[in-house]
């Protein structure tokens, strides 16, 4: 469950979407911190974790050429920009969620999430999260049908299936 829900009142749809990002990025349920301390390249059988939430770890995985970290696999440069914009002082779970929410908002998908237009939100966010279908990163993409079914199991509501 998104940590932000414990600190701020967020909708069930936004909570489910943040959880869906973690599911899609493969970080949900890795380690004992529900993915918040996961570095890019982790797998459930081979977790690569960090233990200092005071800052984004900024550890380059040379094999993947990425500094992605945390539940939402936010790269260091993106984190620095969003953290400065929002005044976030650490890379703790609730701030990771705040940054993910801001990235969804910047992709103009927050209203879609709140309205249950999840396929639209996923499409708008596919350049932010490479595991969402439709991007051009060349990384593994999850199937839209799988993501929508998972979103429902995470407690999200999908608007009439017309979009």
Number of other residues whose CB lies within 10 A of the CB of residue 64: 12
Side-chain half-sphere of 139: how many Cα atoms within 13 Å?
19
Residues that are catalytic:
25
Long-range contacts formed by 21-24: CB under 8 A, 24+ apart: 21/71, 21/72, 21/100, 21/125, 21/129, 22/71, 22/72, 23/147, 23/150, 23/154, 24/129, 24/131, 24/132, 24/142, 24/147, 24/150
Q: Residue 38: beta bridge partners? A: 49
CA pair distance 9, 135, nearest whole angstrom: 31
Residues 6+ apart with CB under 8 A from 58: 67, 69, 76
């Amino acid at each position: 469950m998104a940590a932000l829900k414990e600190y701020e009142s967020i909708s069930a749809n936004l909570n489910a979407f943040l959880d869906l990002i973690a599911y899609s990025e493969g970080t949900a349920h890795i380690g004992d911190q529900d993915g918040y301390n996961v570095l890019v390249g982790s797998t459930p059988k081979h977790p690569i974790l960090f233990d200092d939430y005071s800052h984004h770890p900024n550890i380059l995985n040379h094999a993947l050429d990425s500094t992605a970290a945390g539940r939402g696999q936010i790269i260091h440069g993106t984190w620095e920009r969003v953290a400065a914009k929002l005044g976030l002082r650490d890379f703790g779970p609730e701030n990771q969620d705040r940054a993910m929410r801001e990235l969804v908002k910047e992709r103009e998908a927050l209203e879609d999430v709140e309205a249950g237009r999840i396929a639209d939100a996923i499409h708008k966010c596919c350049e932010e999260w490479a595991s969402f279908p439709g991007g051009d990163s060349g990384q593994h993409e999850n199937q839209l049908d799988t993501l929508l079914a998972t979103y429902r199991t995470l407690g999200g509501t999908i608007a009439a299936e017309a979009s």
